[in-house]
Structure 1
């Protein structure tokens, strides 16, 4: 479970991890805004807004899972 690797992450890897987390939060929030905000995409029916927002949230989850998978593979 725990490795004996006490090396610190390089500043560039740490920055990319933080940037990935910020992008995840932004995309996830955008998906929630599409679903719950009535003024955003007001020309779409409610079911299409929910579907589109869900796809955006799914994309955010896939992005963050790839980031964590990449970091675990590099250790």
Structure 2
């Protein structure tokens, strides 16, 4: 699924963008998880919408992950 030889052959710019993509992926997952499990959130939002928004963020992170690992070199 993930070919490490392709990662070694990337330019420094492509490697930086790959690492930045992984950082953003992690941030989306952490934010989504925090929204789901943090009960005393500092702003008013109904628990149902809070959980749905957290799940949406995690689903978006999964989509970004699959787009990130399936990139083709041009």
Shorter-chain TM band:
0.7 to 0.9
TM-score (ref. length: structure 2): 0.77
Structure with greater Cα Rg? 1
Tell me which residue corresponds to 1:11. Answer: 12
Secondary structure of the residue aligned to 2:10 is: coil
User: RMSD of the alignment, in Å?
Assistant: 2.6
Counterparts of 1:1-75 in structure 2, within 5 Å, are: 8-40=9-41, 43-70=44-71, 73-74=72-73
- Give the unaligned 5+ runs of structure 2: none
TM-score (ref. length: structure 1): 0.76
Secondary structure of the residue aligned to 1:48 is: helix
Secondary structure of the residue aligned to 2:70 is: helix
User: Runs ≥4 in structure 1, deviation > 6 angstroms?
Assistant: none
Displacement of 1:38 in angstroms is 1.2
**Which range is displaced more, 7-16 or 19-28?**
7-16
- Give the unaligned 5+ runs of structure 1: none
